[in-house]
A and B are shown apart, each in its own frame.
Chain A
Amino acid sequence: MRIRTMAAGIAAAASMTFSGFGYAAAQPGDFSTLPVDPNLITDSLAYSAAPPVINPNGQPGVETVYTHRDGSRTITTTVLVLPDAQAATGALDGARAALGTVANGKSQPVAVGSGGTMLTGMSSDGSQSVTLLSFAEGNTATTIEFAGAAKDPAPEDLVLELGRKQDTAIRDWQAA
């Protein structure tokens, strides 16, 4: 199950932010290498990646869906590259406004990137567990969604580990 509303929220916030801004501050290059493969922190064969979606919802960035080999878990990483840090923060604020779609959601700040937040809960129909990690890093806004069986939520340590690796990858990309 995908939480489309969150991506839409980011896109909407980003769209509003883009008015009056250009893309000059966004780094050129191939965004497809930005998402961190979760196999780096698993047994290295657990997930297969779908082809990355470049500029999802018309926004500069990338989205990649990783599916567990048993088909019961997905990790969706979305990195939007916005004009500046303010736009990135605004995009995350917009995304969080859409988090009400997660039933019984519990939100907590986490030490990942800037303004890192982790939301855990259930999908609106209660069929799946959902964990959403969101954070900004410079001019990027990142969300990582973990969806699994209702009784098999993503472990917090896994969420944080992947989030921190993603944050590091973004910083390295920005510094390059």
Chain B
Amino acid sequence: MRKIGMALAIVAMMSGSAATAQTAYAAQSSHDTNSYTQPAVPVGPKVQMFDCQGGTGAMGCGAGFFWRDGWRGWGCYPC
């Protein structure tokens, strides 16, 4: 009789632990640990004017200027 009571107590205790663990797991899984990153919105194509040599500006010259050896020596000169 005493052994039966002991066994019941052990079973009851184990069942309680399992139930608690299940609840804890359920609570944990409610937090979404996978961060969702919004994909970058694609930027439209940039328009860069061609310079007078057909490039996009050598030596840092902007559009409409090009690099040459002119009156002031090497530098960016208007087309």
Q: Tell me the A residues contacting B by CB distance below 8 Å.
A: 39, 41-46, 68-70, 73, 146, 148, 152, 154-155, 158
Contact = CB atoms under 8 A, between A and B. Distances in A.
A43 B73 contact: yes
Please provide the 10 A-B residue pairs with the shortest distance between their CB atoms, ordered closest to farther.
A43-B73, A46-B73, A42-B73, A42-B72, A43-B74, A158-B71, A154-B71, A70-B69, A155-B71, A158-B72
A80 B37 CA distance: 77
Interface of B: 69-75
Q: In terms of DSSP, what is the predominant structure of the interface of chain B? A: strand
Nearest to B78: A155
B70 A45 contact: no
A43 B72 contact: yes
Contact of B73 (A45, A146, A148, A154): A45
A143 B71 CA distance: 18
B72 A41 contact: yes
5 contacts: A43-B73, A44-B73, A45-B73, A152-B71, A155-B71
A148 B71 contact: yes
